[in-house]
Structure 1
Amino acid sequence: MEITSISRYKGSTFEVELDGERKLYLHIDIIADNGLKKGSQLDKTELRKIIYDSNFRRAYQYALYCLDYRDYSERDMLRKLIGTYKNEDLCRAVVGKLAGAGVIDDARYAEKLARRLVEGRRYGFRRAKKELLLKGIGEDTAAEALEQYGDTFGDNLAELLRTKHYRLLTDSSDRKNIEKVKSALVRYGYGFDEINAAVREYFEDAEQAEE
């Protein structure tokens, strides 16, 4: 195949015509990196490489564009790219380059998300870890991100009782309302033992305040 013409198409994209028939739209960097010019001869292997390089560049630039708006885990970015570019091997290579350059970092992403889940939403360990796993964070990375919040979980639980559920906690003998509160806290990701201890302490503090 012979390149019969190269002409500017739009911005940094050029139209490359092959044998006067087939047209490729390539970024100037792809043209320069592959030494393409009018009259260049290409075999099928060279053409496949050029097309791969072009698609890789597009996918990489698209990933950077997405990252301008929010963070992604490696798995979420891979899903995003595959949904657009279909070629899983190419998309994995793009994510690998992003991770290698530190543009995507699951540990950093997990730390930010953990802070938002624990300090912002006041989730317990179980719920926070589940949310991290759903975002594609690995078990060990998720556990490490949450490790620093050991004391915070207890403080959050007490705060939820004081500010969110206090209307149902007016009578320590009202088992129905107390069970409602406990069920809600389980959904927040707290364990039965820590919930029972927090509720017990809540009523003890309330009794002392009345004395």
Structure 2
Amino acid sequence: MKIAKIVASKKRKARYHVYLEEDGSETYGFTVEEDTLINEGLKQGQQLDRTRINKLLESDTLQRSYAQSIRYLTYRMRSIQEVRDYLRSKDTIEGQIEQIINRLLKEKLLDDLAFAKAYVSSKSTTTLRGPLKLQHELKNKGVSEGNIRQALEQYHFNNQVKDVEKWLNSQLNRRQRISFHQRKNKLKQALMQKGFNSAVINQALAMALAENEPHDEWESLCFQGEKIVDRLKKKVTGYELKHKVKGTLYQKGYPLDLIERFIDQQATFFD
């Protein structure tokens, strides 16, 4: 059989329909990518057998999957595992996946170390993410421990402290209705969840606290204290009520001098 004609697809760019002629009859044969058409030198009148066609289709499938991976890489850098998982989601043949990965590596379009460095640089400047969280995210993307370690070296301790202190300043300036002690614990917990270690957190917190006095501690205590009194006065009275209120406020982290001040102001409830 021979190629009767080659027609560009109207629906899909860079795809071509190949029609075959055999025994004087012309029929649709197959469709290939433009790169396959050029690389394989397909042209009108060329003789093809079934073995040759099967090889062409296999080559075209590989080229199409490669083109998909290129499009996937245009949005942002990807790790090797991300590209591999993407190709699997497109039902690419496993053997062809490795061929594509190797080609992308040779063409310097895949580089896990460069990817990890770019990831750390981007995430640490646009969001508050500590090394531990970044490490976890990169590991999930299939990046090796060695590459992760090298990438994280660029996020220096002092830069971490600076970023955390800036975040703490914004948080400490917000009015809260919990004790300063509780607030500090919550902030520490939040920073640990963001991937920062205790050394960074403690240093940044000390610097932030030096600039932010707990001006609303008394207002917060009064709010909490009144809620506690309203809740407990239905069950206990007098000394027992005072004792429970003091104990509850102390457990919430309020300083004793402010607790005593509140108790004095609310003395009528404890007679």
Is TM more than 0.5 here? Answer: yes
**2:19 and 2:27 in contact (8 A); partners too:** no
Give the aligned partner of residue 119 of structure 1: 125
Q: CA deviation at 1:18?
A: 7.3
The aligned residue for residue 203 of structure 1 is 209
1:60-100 deviations in Å (ceiling 9; x for gaps): 22222222222222211121122124312212211221121
Letter in 2 for 1:80: Y
Mapping of residues 47-196 of structure 1, within 5 Å:
47-150=53-156, 151-167=158-174, 174-196=180-202
In 1, the alpha carbon distance for the partners of 2:142 and 2:122 equals: 16
Q: Which residue identity is paired with 2:147?
A: T
- Name the CA shift for 1:18/1:49 in 2 (closer, same or farther; >3 Å): farther
AA in 1 matched with 2:39: D
Q: Against the structure 1 CA distance between its residues 164 and 52, is the aligned structure 2 distance closer, same or farther, given a 3 Å change threshold?
A: farther
Matches of 2:148 and 2:93, distance apart in 1: 29
Could you tell which deviates more after superposition, 137-146 or 11-20?
A: 11-20
Q: Distance in 1 between matches of 2:202 and 2:34?
A: 65
Give RMSD over aligned pairs: 2.9
The question of 1:17 aligning with 2:23 is answered no
What percentage of aligned pairs have identical amino acids? 20
8 A contact 1:14–1:28 mirrored in 2 = no
Compare relative contact order (CA 8 Å, sep 6+) and give the higher one, 1 or 2.
Answer: 1
Q: Using the TM superposition, give the Cα deviation of residue 35 of structure 1 relative to its aligned residue in structure 2, in angstroms.
A: 4.6
Change (3 A) 1:43 1:161: same
Per mean C-alpha deviation after superposition, the further-off stretch among 113-122 and 12-21 is 12-21
Confirm or deny: 8 A CA contact 1:82 1:88 kept in the other structure: yes
Q: Could you tell me how far apart the structure 1 residues matched to 2:112 and 2:175 are?
A: 40
**Alpha-carbon distance change, 16 to 98 in structure 1, aligned in 2, over 3 angstroms:** farther
Q: Matches of 1:28 and 1:131 in 2, distance apart? A: 38
The question of whether the paired residues in 1 share the 8 Å contact of 2:15 and 2:31 is answered with no
Go from structure 1 to structure 2 and tell me whether the alpha carbon gap of 1:8 and 1:144 turns closer, same or farther (over 3 Å shift).
same
The answer to whether the Cα contact below 8 Å between 1:168 and 1:177 also exists between their aligned partners in 2 is no
Q: Is the 8 A contact 2:80 2:110 kept in 1?
A: yes
User: Residue 5 of structure 2 corresponds to which residue in structure 1?
Assistant: 6
Gaps of 5+ in 2: 214-271
CA displacement 1:82-132 (0-9 Å, x = unmatched): 212431221221122112101222222222211121122121110122222
Which stretch has the larger CA shift, 124-133 or 190-199? 190-199
CA contact (8 A) 2:5 2:20 kept: yes
CA contact (8 A) 2:130 2:196 kept: yes
Change (3 A) 1:56 1:185: same
